[in-house]
Structure 1
Amino acid sequence: MEIKTATHLANFLQLCIDKKSHINGKLLHAHILRTGLFADTFLSNRLIELYHKCGRLITAHQVFDKMPHRNLYSWHAMLSAFCKIGDIDNAHKLFVEMPERNTVSWNTLISAFVRGGLERRALNMYYDMNHAGFLPTNFTLASVFSACGALLDLQYGCVCHGFAYKIGLDKNIYVGNALLGMHAKCGNLKDAIKAFEDLPEVNEVSFTAVMGALGDSDHVEEAFDMFRSMHRIGIRIDAISLSSILGVCGRSGINESGSTVNGQQLHGLTVRLGFEKDLHLSNSLLDMYAKFGDMSSAEMIFNNLPEVSVVSWNVMIGGYGQKYEIKKAIEFMQKMQTFGFEPDEVTYINMLTACLKSGDTETAHEIFNKMASPSLSSWNALLSGYSQIGKHKEAVRLFINMQFCNVKGDRTTFAVIVSSCASMGLLKGGRQVHAASVKNLFDDDIYVASGLIGMYSKCNKIEVAKCVFERIKDQDDIVCWNSMVAGLSLSNLDKDAFMLFKNMLENNMLPTQFSYATVLSSCAKLSSMSQGRQIHARALKDRIINDVVVGSALIDMYSKCGEVDEARLFFDKMPVRNTITWNEMIHGYAQNGHGSEGVALFEEMINKSGEKPDAITFIAVLTSCSHSGLIDYGITIFNSMLQEHGVEPISDHYTCLIDSLGRAGRFNEIEVILDKMPYSNDPILWEVLLSSCRVHLNASLARRAADELFRINPCNSAPYVLLANMYSSMGRWDDVRHIRELMTEKQAVKEPGYSWFEHKDGS
């Protein structure tokens, strides 16, 4: 009879568990105590499960503590209860106290560590599990690969993959999906795709992971192809897979019209599949339209959401911030608070970013100061914002303030502040940041080390930059190699830059567009056609030749090596061009004496290409006008800069115009320009004028130019020599002697000249 009663009670308890009926469960608990059935371990285990499911963990623990007899299930019920509410410390304590354990015990705690963001502890637990003689299951390995992915620990992940293969779990769908996810998070696209292809069966999780990996690696079209394949073979498309491909769509950028169309089609599919009320998916749609800059569509979706979350508000605020519409961003933040939503850290970071992108540093500071306890992410957001808009002094002050507030920086903090020190040429400050990064164990981080290499290079400490590079333990990342090649090029060690690039290839590093652009710049400075052709061939082999940055660098290299026709041939074949590409080609014509062709190309640019000329464009075309004798046309272009194109003339433009007029001997017009121009402290401008005066023997204007140069830099020998040579050609020997005496008095020493040529063996 007692057994029958216990069975009935167990069934009633199961009903209460299923319906989370706390009150009825308590009544049954009282009945169990009253009838003396609490000693029944099975019923007590059910009570623990009931209280856990109803969110009464303290009561569940009290039942567990008072149980006269516990079995393994009792311990598991309590362990699971702690793990599910995220009480990891008590879960671990309970685990240690367990009189016996099985694989389920280990799996429960390992997966809890991973869910709680304690991935390293999860991997340590996995090691202990193996050491204790327990064989991992598919659930164990799925958690372990997830932990390796979160830690970007690809090496340990590969070791675990080998073990999975050994015990025959490598083809399991859960293990395979987790392995694929790990490679994706570690940026290892090749192995992620291989893991996908090796799966004996695939599901929506597999497709979602590989689409995310392709999107993160900027293989946007391949990600869309994968989604189409998923749809075509009948794999169920759920809200998560749709969110993933929408994320890929958003990352592809505002300028990709194809992605905009794909995004709109995905929006239609979302409605057709009935997911328009899914909040997470709706937020993904919002985010996609915001990243496209289509805030009207984003606002339409936002206004029709059945429910909104803080994430929804944050996406709208961030979207308006990206478009520099600071008033709309502030308006949405105020509405958010009106509707009872408290801004979180992401809200404040989005607002800080919006203000700084709009150049409104004052409002950014006000928002930052309103934060009760700014997190490191908020400090970093403000720090990065200052650095990105060129407010490097403010960034340094903020970093110092962080130290006073005892805020410990991370890799982002140090990478950003080193970049600001580099931009300012602040060697002393950069060294202090370097010391702080060593103290905080971030000097080995590739991004911090890359920033340090850049900082020391810009501060003319290339040997220290080399030391930083050589001390990097993990040299398998292209970032630091790129920084070192750029540093050598910046220090005019262009042969060394080329050799380091070759060394990079020998180490099986895959060059990026930045790698190619930098080494091509070195080849251009060396006027080394043979080396430039080698890089061109390698870029063809690596299929990066169509990149606009690499293409522009190739045009510059061929032009500086005197092969302007070859540069134009490549220019005409480029599938994509930008303003920089046009500038390089126009300038290439100018510097090779083909001014008329440069002017014709400028006309084609503004009339046919749709590209907008910038300040560099006008320097290039004004130089072309000067070299081809098109003086009046050059004046017309100069006058059109501000009126028609909105480009404010700077000293370089005035220098080009004065050079053009000087070559033609039109000094009266030059004097009018000199009296009006705002750039009287530019030595190059006065040197150009002095050279023209010497050619045309204009002594009075030559003396004015020389006097300005003496004022700007009394120790520069060039103006003394030019003026003396002009006086000697005019037979004014007393003036020559006076200039020589003045040169001696000011200790202006003439540097010896030298020439450069490339030997046929490339040396």
Structure 2
Amino acid sequence: MRRATSMLKLAPPWLVRFSSVSASSLVDEFTKFCYQRDLPRAMKAMEAMQRNRLWADAITYSELIKCCLVRGGVEQGRLVHEHVFSNGYEPKTFLINTLLNMYVKFGLLDEAQKLFDEMPDRNVVSWTTMISAYSNSSLNHMALEFLILMLREGVRPNMFTYSSVLRACNGLLNLRQLHASLTKVGLESDVFVRSALIDTYSKLGEQQDALNVFNEMVTGDLVVWNSIIGGLAQNSDGDEALHLYKRMKRAGFAADQSTLTSVLRACTGLALLELGRQVHVHVLKFDQDLILNNALLDMYCKCGSLEDANLVFTRTMADKDVISWSTMIAGLAQNGFSTDALKLFEAMKLRGPKPNYITVLGVLFACSHAGLVKDGWYYFQSMKELFGIDPGREHYGCIIDLLGRAGKLDEAVKLIHEMKHEPDAVTWRILLGACRVHKNVDLAIYAAKEILKLDPTDAGTYILLSNIYANTQKWEDVAEVRRSMRARGVKKEPGCSWIEVSKQVHAFILGDNSHPRIEDIKREISRVIQRLVSVGYVPDTNFVLQDLEGEQMEDSLQYHSEKLAIVFGLMSLPKEKTIRIRKNLRICGDCHLFAKLVAQLENRVIVIRDPIRYHHFQEGVCSCGDYW
């Protein structure tokens, strides 16, 4: 008796009271601590209740479980689970579902599955919790299997079940079957289901099906608008995404962070800097949002406005994650500021998050486009040791590009044969580009043939191979290449360039005279070229691809799409305005020289974005240092 008294003296005052209070008071104390989210005291009270074979109501336990989730109390959550099943107590389905959700939120799917299997009664919430858990964990086959089991048990799925399982669909057949199923039960009009349908069709690249779902009925919820705009932006249909954004605003919906993130992605894909700046104004209305800020940063980098990107990165972003740093490093590298990209990478290693796969890719791209062979090799060979990242196909591609640009073609070929990944068409195209620059005909022919084995419809490779044969007087081979093109129905993709003037996008295509001012533009091109010739410009016909129409070389060069766009920009934009152009094909050497000289003679800044990188022309030089 004396021993028991001394133990009580050491205990907290509130616990001492449990020895003398009534059962109802003990439960009341426990309830109070649960609602106060006082986890240590609630757990102590629960221990006392268990010793006295007392239980609270299901709602109180659910509050305690929420507290465990907030505090990351995995072990405490397991003790709650043990308590509510102790001494033959049978908790209600509602409480078991709450425990199930707790295990899912903690990422303990095996324990969730075990509890689910032991449930005496499973309702739609139980099944939906598990389906959602497997869907969110990308265990798509399990999510779909559980839906089938659920239906077999006679439990009817609800809108949350379908919205979860739809996102687990990784095949069009499954998706269409589910679409038909939910239409039968009348759930196709539910906001969450429609949104999930649109998201899933978009994820599978079936954008027309996504649009059909969107257009089937009047959309009265922002969630659905966000799904369709986001899907279009992610599938590179920026024009339609922006069109729907305008429709959404006319319908009276105010954009939220999700909307603006998708609109910024659309602006990024179309290189619409001015529209992106207008969206930036709306971004400022919201509290700091990391995903939105990353989209804003990416837009400025990919629209070639490094000053704006740097301001967002250094001043606007209170928080930065690995995506932020990687975006800025890649943006600097792609815009020709490789040294700055590598400096930022060093800063990231000191005070930023751990670099990931994409970060290292940006670093290697910077080395490749600055000719930093030694640095590139160092980062490539040590990326596993330093950052725990295994080199992927893209990393190998950067190093092959680095070696090829530096003229180390034998080393590039050796690396292709030694790489852990089977070389794809992109890998061989990198080598082919280097062969053309360094005029290695035999290796170029070898690389071109490897590309055509993997991608028999690659028009650019056929044309380049034809030119290589023509330059070496191998006319029979030229004829054979052209016969192959005709037999396969392969046609050369025409060069196309876009420029934004007064909120309108103007497109120029070689050989297309549909632009309303094309005659004025051609006259101005002739005037500009005469001025350039007077200071030593000579059109470089080595960069003319000999297509099947046999265009005159210098005439063809004169009307390359980027030249048309540059001259239209000179005619349409004030002197202080940067001429920004996007094009679908890599810029040729003659157009590169043309842009440098125009920038110098006209005292203009010209930025051209091609599929590989960005070129900033000013005062007769380019940010790439003529190394592209």
- Name the structure 2 match of 1:525: 269
- Name the structure 2 match of 1:553: 295
Equivalent-residue separation in structure 2 for 1:332 and 1:705 (angstroms)? 65
The residue identity in structure 2 corresponding to 1:754 is C
- Name the structure 2 match of 1:419: 167
Aligned residues: 472
- Name the structure 2 match of 1:597: 340
RMSD of Structure 2 on Structure 1 (CA): 3.6
What is the CA distance between 1:388 and its match in structure 2? 0.8
Classify the secondary structure of the residue corresponding to 1:390.
Answer: coil
Equivalent-residue separation in structure 2 for 1:324 and 1:710 (angstroms)? 55
CA contact (8 A) 2:134 2:140 kept: yes
Give yes or no for the alignment of 1:607 onto 2:350. yes
1:481 to 220, 225, 234: 225
Equivalent-residue separation in structure 1 for 2:309 and 2:27 (angstroms)? 52
Give yes or no for the alignment of 1:500 onto 2:251. no
- Name the structure 1 match of 2:597: none
Kindly, what percent of the aligned residue pairs are identical? 30
- Name the structure 2 match of 1:539: 283
CA contact (8 A) 1:330 1:351 kept: no
**CA distance 1:283–1:320, shift in 2 (3 Å):** closer
**CA distance 1:576–1:380, shift in 2 (3 Å):** same
5 Å matches for 1:37-56? Answer: none
The residue identity in structure 1 corresponding to 2:154 is N
1:198-251: CA deviation from partner (whole Å, max 9, x where unpaired) = xxxxxxxxxxxxxxxxxxxxxxxxxxxxxxxxxxxxxxxxxxxxxxxxxxxxxx
Larger strand percent: 2
What is the CA distance between 1:623 and its match in structure 2? 1.3
2:325 to 550, 558, 582: 582
What is the CA distance between 1:613 and its match in structure 2? 1.7
- Name the structure 1 match of 2:614: none
Give yes or no for the alignment of 1:390 onto 2:138. yes
2:126 to 368, 378, 382: 378
CA contact (8 A) 1:321 1:350 kept: no
Classify the secondary structure of the residue corresponding to 1:756.
Answer: strand
Equivalent-residue separation in structure 2 for 1:367 and 1:333 (angstroms)? 10
Mean CA deviation greater in 321-330 or 712-721: 321-330
- Name the structure 1 match of 2:432: 690
Give yes or no for the alignment of 1:751 onto 2:493. yes
**CA distance 1:670–1:304, shift in 2 (3 Å):** farther
**CA distance 1:756–1:372, shift in 2 (3 Å):** same
**CA distance 1:375–1:568, shift in 2 (3 Å):** same
Equivalent-residue separation in structure 2 for 1:328 and 1:667 (angstroms)? 62
Equivalent-residue separation in structure 1 for 2:479 and 2:26 (angstroms)? 90
The residue identity in structure 2 corresponding to 1:513 is Q
**CA distance 1:279–1:464, shift in 2 (3 Å):** same
- Name the structure 2 match of 1:469: 214
Equivalent-residue separation in structure 1 for 2:447 and 2:73 (angstroms)? 47
**CA distance 1:503–1:738, shift in 2 (3 Å):** closer
Equivalent-residue separation in structure 1 for 2:381 and 2:328 (angstroms)? 23
- Name the structure 2 match of 1:400: 148
Give yes or no for the alignment of 1:720 onto 2:462. yes
What is the CA distance between 1:277 and its match in structure 2? 6.7
- Name the structure 1 match of 2:193: 448
- Name the structure 2 match of 1:166: none
1:395-450: CA deviation from partner (whole Å, max 9, x where unpaired) = 223323333333211111111122222xx2x3332232222222222222111111
Equivalent-residue separation in structure 2 for 1:374 and 1:537 (angstroms)? 50
**CA distance 1:331–1:673, shift in 2 (3 Å):** farther
CA contact (8 A) 1:724 1:740 kept: yes
Structure 1 segments unaligned to the other structure (5+ residues): 1-273, 289-297
1:724-760: CA deviation from partner (whole Å, max 9, x where unpaired) = 3344445554544444444445554433332222233
What is the CA distance between 1:607 and its match in structure 2? 1.0
- Name the structure 2 match of 1:302: 43
CA contact (8 A) 1:427 1:455 kept: no
Equivalent-residue separation in structure 1 for 2:61 and 2:382 (angstroms)? 45
**CA distance 1:677–1:304, shift in 2 (3 Å):** farther
CA contact (8 A) 1:317 1:347 kept: no
5 Å matches for 1:38-77? Answer: none
Classify the secondary structure of the residue corresponding to 1:755.
Answer: strand
**CA distance 1:334–1:730, shift in 2 (3 Å):** farther
**Higher relative contact order (CA closer than 8 Å, sequence separation 6+):** 2
Larger radius of gyration: 1
Equivalent-residue separation in structure 2 for 1:628 and 1:644 (angstroms)? 23
- Name the structure 1 match of 2:372: 630
Give yes or no for the alignment of 1:513 onto 2:513. no
**CA distance 1:340–1:706, shift in 2 (3 Å):** farther
What is the CA distance between 1:692 and its match in structure 2? 1.9
The residue identity in structure 2 corresponding to 1:536 is H
**CA distance 1:285–1:685, shift in 2 (3 Å):** farther
Structure 2 segments unaligned to the other structure (5+ residues): 1-24, 506-628
CA contact (8 A) 2:131 2:161 kept: yes
Classify the secondary structure of the residue corresponding to 2:293.
Answer: helix
**CA distance 1:651–1:280, shift in 2 (3 Å):** farther
What is the CA distance between 1:314 and its match in structure 2? 7.2
What is the CA distance between 1:762 and its match in structure 2? 2.5
5 Å matches for 1:184-203? Answer: none
**CA distance 1:507–1:355, shift in 2 (3 Å):** closer
Classify the secondary structure of the residue corresponding to 1:278.
Answer: helix
CA contact (8 A) 1:531 1:762 kept: no
Equivalent-residue separation in structure 1 for 2:99 and 2:159 (angstroms)? 20
**CA distance 1:729–1:618, shift in 2 (3 Å):** farther
The residue identity in structure 2 corresponding to 1:283 is C
5 Å matches for 1:157-176? Answer: none
- Name the structure 2 match of 1:435: 180
Equivalent-residue separation in structure 2 for 1:350 and 1:734 (angstroms)? 76
The residue identity in structure 2 corresponding to 1:377 is V
5 Å matches for 1:624-663? Answer: 624-663=366-405
5 Å matches for 1:342-353? Answer: 342=90, 345=93, 346-347=95-96, 350-351=99-100
What is the CA distance between 1:666 and its match in structure 2? 2.2
Classify the secondary structure of the residue corresponding to 1:757.
Answer: strand
Equivalent-residue separation in structure 2 for 1:557 and 1:433 (angstroms)? 36
The residue identity in structure 2 corresponding to 1:673 is L
- Name the structure 1 match of 2:575: none
Classify the secondary structure of the residue corresponding to 1:593.
Answer: coil
**CA distance 1:328–1:505, shift in 2 (3 Å):** same
The residue identity in structure 1 corresponding to 2:324 is T
CA contact (8 A) 1:318 1:354 kept: no
CA contact (8 A) 1:322 1:354 kept: no
5 Å matches for 1:306-385? Answer: 306-307=48-49, 333=81, 337=85, 340-342=88-90, 345=93, 346-347=95-96, 350-351=99-100, 354=103, 358=107, 365-385=113-133
CA contact (8 A) 1:528 1:762 kept: no
Mean CA deviation greater in 707-716 or 507-516: 707-716
Mean CA deviation greater in 437-446 or 698-707: 698-707
1:84-128: CA deviation from partner (whole Å, max 9, x where unpaired) = xxxxxxxxxxxxxxxxxxxxxxxxxxxxxxxxxxxxxxxxxxxxx
- Name the structure 2 match of 1:154: none
